[in-house]
């Protein structure tokens, strides 16, 4: 039992973890299921394991990394968080949080793509947003706001305007 407790506490010292993540870590170290259950119950009792608080903290930290609500829901479910808890935490997120996160990601990534033609910038940013789980409606809305100022278009205009 002491070994199982030590494994769980070491895991928790790195970062908060869901009960399911700790169960998997203990199983990986061949801790008997009954012992793991007792240790995890005790850690839950003293407040070191709290899936609801874990889910809220996960949403808060991952939001800063410009992730969509859909992607965050999926990640939490894969970490063993109950669907009801995930939906409760997700419902606390502002309605326009996805739109704001997508805009922040585009604002961060667009300057590096500035010298590319608009179509290429659009395509690359759309791919980045889609990989982060944003819906096509959010992607379209944010990319519609993307300035069209192409370097190539600017050069063509300057050339035609000079003749």
- Reported as a pLDDT band with limits 50, 70 and 90, residue 59 is confident
* CA–CA gap between residue 52 and residue 112 (Å, rounded): 38
Tokens of 10: 């070491």
Residues 30-55, mean pLDDT to the nearest whole number? 94
Q: pLDDT digits over 136-159, tens only?
A: 999 999 999 887 764 444 444 444
Structural tokens at position 56: 């809220």
- Token readout for 53 is 């608080």
Contact 16, 54 (CB under 8 A): yes
Query: Among 21-30, 31-40, 53-62, where is mean pLDDT lowest?
Result: 53-62
């Amino acid at each position: 039992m002491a070994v199982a407790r030590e494994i769980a506490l070491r895991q928790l010292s790195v970062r908060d973890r869901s009960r399911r993540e700790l169960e998997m870590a203990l199983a990986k170290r061949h801790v008997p299921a009954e012992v793991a259950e007792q240790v995890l119950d005790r850690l839950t009792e003293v407040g070191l394991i709290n899936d609801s608080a874990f889910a809220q903290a996960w949403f808060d930290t991952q939001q800063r990394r410009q992730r969509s609500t859909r992607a965050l829901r999926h990640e939490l479910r894969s970490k063993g968080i109950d669907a009801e808890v995930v939906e409760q935490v997700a419902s606390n997120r502002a309605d326009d949080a996805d739109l704001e996160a997508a805009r922040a990601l585009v604002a961060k990534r667009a300057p590096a793509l500035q010298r590319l033609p608009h179509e290429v910038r659009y395509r690359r940013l759309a791919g980045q947003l889609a990989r982060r789980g944003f819906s096509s409606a959010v992607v379209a809305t944010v990319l519609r706001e993307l300035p069209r100022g192409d370097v190539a278009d600017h050069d063509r205009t300057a050339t035609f305007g000079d003749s």
